[in-house]
């Protein structure tokens, strides 16, 4: 099933819509990013519930992160996270060298300023997923050369 | 071994659920932004159109289906290849008009509406209207002007979901002025 293509088209339309309605209402860029992130959050919450219905309880936070890097990322983006780093004190950095939603955009530094638009939804998605797994976090993403992308999760409080 | 295969079907399901949930978030946002359902329907159609004009290329690249010779063939390709490829369902093609220019797609299930219930104050909302826009946009790119609308909708209480497609006219390809 070509679900991935369909989702990518829908995702792109979503971004166009949010930015177009912002133009008419004179919202700033930040508000659009927040809007997209919030939509991702709701979707992430629902998605993680469906996905982990039958999986056993996670042993600890690192287990949750490994789940996100392997199973969650594979299901949603068809590949695993390439690199996971942590300071074991609540900060995790995930590296994806070929982020699916950016590959169609550019393969270098072109359009770099537009990259955040395409990352906002996914930031929310992951934040929502983590939230429903009991991990409150702040998720941010950084791109220096497309399509490689770095995701940072900062845990706000421990597992419930 | 069986655990492995569980994962693959799970991941396929999750992917379509990602799309379903994202679509739900979109419709929710549109309902917040626009006050009446008619506006939301129009917006969904427009967005669907934008997706459709791009989706057709993706479809043609993946499916290697040749040019359709008539509207009946088009209907079959839409139902058996396109819907199957993107949504995993195969609607049936029925209710052909005597002139052969109008038909219905009957969907027994609609993945877009998994987990969805329409609240009472949105009785005019055509939730899956994106599909109409997609079909319209995609067919326009292959030189067919069509009119697409929902005749029945399970979300609004009907037994099945029925999409009615009507062929309007063939769009002539415009050659650039200099060509002869």
A19-64 pLDDT tens trace? 888 777 656 677 888 999 999 999 999 999 988 888 888 888 888 8
Q: CA B66 to CA B49: how far, in whole Å?
A: 22
Domain ranges of chain A: 4-155
CB contact under 8 A, A35 and B29: yes
Do the Cβ atoms of B105 and B99 come closer than 8 Å? no
* Interchain pair B51, A46: CB under 8 A: no
Given this model, what pLDDT does residue B11 score? 56
- Its pTM surpasses 0.95: no
In tens, the pLDDT along B64-96 reads 888 888 899 999 999 999 999 999 999 999 999
How would residue A106 be classed by pLDDT, with cut points 50, 70 and 90?
A: confident
Contacts 24+ apart (CB under 8 A), B112-116: B112/B20, B112/B23, B112/B87, B113/B20, B113/B154, B113/B155, B114/B17, B114/B20, B115/A46, B115/B20, B115/B21, B115/B24, B116/B24, B116/B155
Shortest Cα distance from B175 to chain A (angstroms)? 29
Residue with the larger pLDDT of the pair A159 and B98 = B98
Of A1, A13, A47, the CB nearest to B88: A1
Alpha carbon of A87: minimum distance to chain B alpha carbons (Å): 30
Identify whether the C-beta of residue A51 lies closer than 8 Å to the C-beta of residue B14: yes
In this structure, whether the domain defined by A4-155 belongs to CATH 3.30.1380.20 is answered with yes
A47 and A130 Cβ atoms separated by less than 8 Å: no
Lookup: tokens for A84: 């996971």
Tens of pLDDT, residues B41-51: 999 999 999 99
Q: What is the C-alpha R_g of chain B?
A: 18
* Best of B16, B25, B65, B114 to mutate (most A CBs within 10 Å, chain A): B25
* Positive or negative: CA dihedral B2, B7, B8, B9: positive
Other Cβ atoms closer than 10 A to B150: 20
Q: Which of residues 73-132 of A touch B (CB under 8 A)?
A: 74-76, 121
Nearest to B25 among A6, A43, A71 (CB): A43
Q: How many angstroms separate the most distant Cα atoms in chain B? A: 64
Q: Do A1 and B58 touch (CB under 8 A)?
A: no
pLDDT of residue A111: 85
Rounded mean pLDDT of B107-126?
Answer: 89
Q: Mutate one of B14, B51, B84 to test the A interface: name it (highest A CB count within 10 A).
A: B14
- What count of CB pairs under 8 Å joins A to B? 88
DSSP state of A71: I
A13: which chain B residues are within 8 Å (Cβ-Cβ)? 47, 50-51
Which residues of B fall within a CB distance of 8 Å from A5? 55, 58, 86
- Residues from chain B that touch A56, judged by Cβ atoms under 8 A, are none
pLDDT digits (tens, 9 = 90+) for B153-172: 998 888 899 999 999 999 88
Hey, are the CB atoms on A51 and B54 less than 8 Å from each other? no
pLDDT of residue A90: 86
- Cβ distance B22 to A74 less than 8 Å, yes or no, reads no
Contact between chains at A14 and B26 (C-beta distance less than 8 A): yes
- Give the pLDDT band of residue A157 (cuts 50, 70, 90): low
0.90 surpassed by complex ipTM: no
Q: What's residue B150's pLDDT?
A: 94
In the predicted model, is pLDDT for residue A134 greater than 70? yes
Ordered structural domains, chain B, with CATH: 16-116+125-170 (3.30.1380.20)
CA–CA separation, A127 vs A40, rounded Å? 8
By the 8 A CB rule, do A96 and A81 touch? yes
A17 close to B (CB below 8 A)? yes
Identify the pLDDT of residue B1. Answer: 44
Chain B touched by A35 (CB under 8 Å):
yes
User: How far apart are alpha carbons B14 and A75 in whole angstroms?
Assistant: 7
According to the model, what pLDDT value does residue A58 have?
Answer: 86
- Chain B residues in contact with A48 by the CB 8 A cut-off are none
């Amino acid at each position: 099933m070509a679900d991935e293509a369909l989702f990518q088209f829908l995702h792109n339309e979503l971004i166009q819509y949010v930015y177009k309605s912002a133009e008419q209402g004179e919202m700033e860029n930040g508000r659009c990013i927040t809007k997209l992130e919030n939509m991702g959050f709701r979707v992430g919450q629902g998605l993680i519930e469906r996905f982990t219905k039958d999986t056993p309880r996670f042993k600890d936070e690192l287990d949750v992160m490994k789940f996100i890097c392997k199973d969650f990322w594979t299901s949603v983006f068809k590949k695993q996270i390439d690199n996971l780093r942590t300071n074991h004190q609540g900060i995790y950095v995930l590296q994806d060298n070929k982020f699916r939603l950016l590959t169609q955009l550019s393969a270098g530094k072109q359009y770099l300023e537009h990259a955040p638009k395409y990352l906002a939804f996914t930031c929310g998605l992951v934040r929502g997923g983590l939230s429903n797994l009991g991990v409150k976090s702040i998720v941010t993403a950084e791109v220096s050369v497309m399509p490689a992308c770095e995701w940072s999760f900062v845990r706000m409080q421990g597992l419930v | 071994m069986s655990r492995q295969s569980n994962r693959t079907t799970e991941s396929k399901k999750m992917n379509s659920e990602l799309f379903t949930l994202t679509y739900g978030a979109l419709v929710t946002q549109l309902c917040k932004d626009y006050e009446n359902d008619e506006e939301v329907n129009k917006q969904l159609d427009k967005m669907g159109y934008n997706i459709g004009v791009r989706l057709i290329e993706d479809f043609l690249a993946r499916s290697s289906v040749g040019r359709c010779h008539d509207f009946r063939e088009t209907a079959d390709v839409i139902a058996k290849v396109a819907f199957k490829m993107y949504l995993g369902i195969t609607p049936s093609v029925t209710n052909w008009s005597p002139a052969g220019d109008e038909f219905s797609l009957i969907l027994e299930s609609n993945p877009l509406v998994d987990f969805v219930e329409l609240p009472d104050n949105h009785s005019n909302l055509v939730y899956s209207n994106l599909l109409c826009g997609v079909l319209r946009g995609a067919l326009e790119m292959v030189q067919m002007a069509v009119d697409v609308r929902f005749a029945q909708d399970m979300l609004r209480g009907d037994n099945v979901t029925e999409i009615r497609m009507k062929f309007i006219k063939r769009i002539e390809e415009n050659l650039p002025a200099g060509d002869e």
